[in-house]
């Protein structure tokens, strides 16, 4: 016997409510998951933002007996930025020594030297001693940052500008990558050169900035504003790199970083290695923000190619990421 219309309507209404209730639970679960994931992501991003000021111990203590690296920092009349940079990098556990490339007309003041020496002394504990030296130059030249340093304490230098800071964890990853390929340049700031197709068969090249790298995923240089390389390249730059090109760099006040990329690529026949890392720019804009910067660097590349008699730069699309701090890679 079939039920009454009232009972059938009640049953139908009950099923509708049950369906809506189940759907509501699913929506709530989905929203809850999204909110939880977003909060986790925000916490992760916030932690990476403060890493450069709060170094965390990500190194196996058994590695500390190995030779570390020398910080080779280029500066020019920005003592406040220099102090911030030294204060940060002195906390990096594998740092062995610091060489400050000083090209100002006046020597570093006693108060600045005392301040920086006090910083490195504060981190020189448990048998670790960080050495700090000013490499003073009588002449202001971009070539000064690559002058040979006698009796360097380590085999590798970490070349850095005074207005950029990377977390110690990122620096340690780049250093470990360099150890696996010690003849290669390993750095954080990739750039590219391109063959100018509009010139027909002429070997004319153009300079590709960051957006060119971002769009194509290809690079052939890592800039010396943040890069590891073997100390032998300082000697090669000083003693073997064509003097005419060093004069060209000094006169134009540009492209010393491209020159180092040419030198290393010519010696190895291999591409550099780009390490992805968080970069914190603590200074004002530099020469790269000036008008005509890319054109000047295009001119440099073609001048270097003419002098070398070939294009030594090798392009690659390989990128190193630290999987410990990466969700998607």
55, two tokens: 């170094």
Please give the backbone phi and psi of residue 100, each rounded to the nearest 5 degrees, phi first.
-100, 120
178, two tokens: 């360099």
For position 283, what pLDDT does the model report?
75
**Residues 189 and 227: beta-carbon distance below 8 Å:** yes
Cα angle vertex 131, ends 130, 137, to 5°?
Answer: 145
Report CA Rg, the chain. Answer: 27
For position 287, what pLDDT does the model report?
54
CA–CA separation, 56 vs 49, rounded Å?
A: 13
Please give the backbone phi and psi of residue 23, each rounded to the nearest 5 degrees, phi first.
-65, -40
pLDDT digits (tens, 9 = 90+) for 8-54: 555 555 455 444 454 555 555 666 666 665 665 554 444 443 444 44
CA–CA separation, 148 vs 238, rounded Å?
A: 6
281, two tokens: 């720019």
**Residues 229 and 120: beta-carbon distance below 8 Å:** no
**Pairs from 174-180 (Cβ < 8 Å, separation ≥ 24):** 174/228, 174/275, 174/277, 174/320, 175/68, 175/69, 175/94, 175/228, 177/228, 177/273, 177/275, 177/320, 178/228, 178/229, 178/273
* Cβ within 8 Å of residue 138, ≥6 positions away: none
The residue among 157, 155, 161, 95 whose CA lies nearest residue 129 is 95
For position 182, what pLDDT does the model report?
97
For position 90, what pLDDT does the model report?
96
CA–CA separation, 180 vs 183, rounded Å?
A: 9
Which stretches of the chain are assigned E, i.e. beta strand? 69-75, 95-102, 131-136, 156-161, 164-165, 186-187, 190-195, 205-208, 221-222, 226-230, 273-275, 280-281, 319-320
The residue among 158, 137, 177, 8 whose CA lies nearest residue 86 is 158
For position 42, what pLDDT does the model report?
52
- Residue ranges for the chain with pLDDT beneath 70: 1-66, 200-201, 284-291, 326-329
211, β-bridge pairs: none
Catalytic residue from among 161, 162, 163, 257: 257
For position 304, what pLDDT does the model report?
97
For position 324, what pLDDT does the model report?
81
- Annotation says 325 is catalytic: no
For position 24, what pLDDT does the model report?
57
Could you tell me what percentage of the chain is helix, strand and coil, using 3-state DSSP and rounding each to the nearest 5? Answer: 45, 15, 35
Cα angle vertex 298, ends 237, 293, to 5°?
Answer: 95
């Amino acid at each position: 016997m079939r039920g009454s219309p009232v009972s059938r309507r009640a049953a139908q209404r009950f099923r509708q409510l049950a369906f809506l209730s189940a759907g509501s639970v699913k929506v709530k679960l989905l929203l809850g998951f999204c909110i939880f994931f977003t909060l986790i992501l925000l916490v992760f991003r916030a932690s990476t933002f403060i890493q450069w000021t709060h170094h965390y111990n990500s190194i196996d203590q058994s590695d500390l007996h190995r030779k570390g690296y020398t910080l080779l920092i280029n500066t020019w009349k920005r003592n406040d930025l220099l102090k911030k940079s030294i204060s940060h990098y002195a906390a990096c556990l594998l740092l062995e020594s610091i060489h400050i490339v000083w090209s100002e007309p006046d020597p570093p003041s006693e108060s600045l030297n005392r301040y920086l020496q006090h910083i490195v002394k504060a981190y020189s504990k448990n048998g670790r001693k960080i050495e700090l030296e000013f490499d003073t130059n009588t002449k202001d030249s971009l070539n000064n940052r690559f002058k040979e340093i006698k009796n360097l304490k380590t085999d590798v230098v970490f070349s850095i500008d005074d207005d950029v800071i990377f977390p110690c964890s990122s620096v340690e990853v780049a250093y470990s990558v360099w150890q696996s390929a010690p003849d290669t340049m390993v750095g954080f700031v990739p750039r590219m050169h391109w063959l100018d197709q509009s010139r027909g068969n002429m070997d004319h090249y153009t300079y590709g900035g960051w957006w060119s790298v971002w769009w194509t995923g290809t690079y052939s240089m890592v800039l010396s504003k943040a890069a590891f390389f073997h100390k032998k390249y300082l000697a090669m730059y000083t003693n073997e790199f064509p003097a005419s090109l060093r004069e060209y760099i000094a006169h134009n006040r540009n492209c010393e970083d491209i020159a180092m990329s040419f030198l290393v690529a010519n010696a190895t026949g291999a591409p550099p290695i780009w390490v992805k890392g968080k970069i914190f720019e603590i200074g004002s804009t530099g020469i790269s923000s000036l008008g005509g910067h890319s054109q000047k660097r295009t001119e440099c590349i073609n001048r270097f190619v003419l002098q070398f008699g070939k294009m030594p730069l090798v392009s690659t699309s390989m990128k190193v990421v630290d999987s410990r701090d990466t969700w998607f890679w």
